[in-house]
Amino acid sequence: MKTARAPLTPAQRSRSRFRTEPLPNALRETRLLVPEELYEAVREMAAAQQQRLPAMIGHLLDFAVTLIHASRASPNPHVDYAMPKPDDPIVSLTQTILASRFPGDTGAARFRQLAFIHLIYAETLRGHRPTAAHLARLSGSQPSQMDRLASIFRERGVIESTHAPGQNGAPWGKILSIRPDAVDAIRRAHLAATGEQIVVDAPAPPARRK
């Protein structure tokens, strides 16, 4: 008489037919359908950060869910949790970064920059004090990558750093915040770097086929 096989655990059920080892219990495998342009942008991000594509997609999903949860959190007397309106500065800043064409910036670079800015915005909404190290832990990235993005945006006048007592035992830290004049500042920086104004909502040039 054959003995009944033990039921599979959730981790074993999440195992891919191409995977030789089961996933840890804290992780689940899924399948996504994304537009080709978005796929290419995420693939470039994964390559730039030397991460596997599934891991990078997981980090981006974690960021998106964190942002959604932050918008639904209960109001804090010191923080405004309202969703951005069309005339909100973060909306204008998002459009301006997307429309910018700084020398050396690729579409994937602008995507990383947007993720960085929106993560600062989301963490500030949650009442946290975002530092480069804090953002690196959230996104599973190297602190040096966050430092590089922070340096780019400081040079363009988008963010500022404020020295404050550190977190997690650090003696001090640089709290990152988006400047009130971020949109005007990045426009001035773009004009100085390219000789051209940033034109929001301009039709994007057709992608070159390789």
Answer whether residue 1 is part of any domain.
no
Pull the structure tokens for residue 183. 């949109």
Rounded Cα distance, 93 and 183, in Å: 5
> Domain for residue 201, yes or no?
no
**Residue 118, Cβ neighbours under 10 Å: how many?**
19
Q: Give φ, ψ of 90 to 5 degrees.
A: -65, -30
Name the residue among 137, 148, 122, 127 with its Cα closest to residue 170.
137
What tens digit of pLDDT does each residue of 88-126 get? 788 899 999 999 999 999 999 999 999 999 999 999 888
Q: Which residue has the higher pLDDT, 46 or 190?
A: 190
Burial zone of 158 (CB within 10 Å; 0-12 exposed, 13-18 middle, 19+ buried): buried
Residue 17 counted as domain residue: no
| β-pair partners for 164 | 173
- Angle (deg, nearest 10), helices 132-139 and 53-72: 110
Answer yes or no: is 178 within a domain. yes
For residues 119 and 73, give the distance between their C-alpha atoms in angstroms, rounded to a whole number: 16
Which residues 6+ apart lie within 8 Å of 185 measured at CB?
A: 156, 157, 158, 179
Q: Judge whether 6 lies within some domain.
A: no
The answer to whether residue 122 sits within a structural domain is: yes
Q: Which residue range is the domain that position 86 belongs to?
A: 31-194
The answer to the question of residue 15 being in a domain is no
- What residues pair up with 79 in beta bridges, in sequence order? 76
Question: Of all residues in the chain, what percent carry a pLDDT higher than 70?
Answer: 69
Residue 117 included in any domain: yes
What CATH number is associated with residue 77? 1.10.10.10
Q: What is the DSSP letter of 34?
A: -
Burial group, residue 120, by CB count within 10 angstroms (0-12, 13-18, 19+): buried
Which residue has 């596997």 as its token pair?
52
First and final C-alpha spacing in the chain:
61
pLDDT of 36-54, one tens digit each?
A: 888 888 888 777 777 778 8
The overall average pLDDT reported for the chain is: 77
Cβ atoms of 139 and 132 closer than 8 Å: no
- Per the structure, how many domains does the chain have? 1
* Residues 126-147: tens digit of each pLDDT: 888 888 888 888 888 888 899 9
pTM score, two decimals? Answer: 0.55
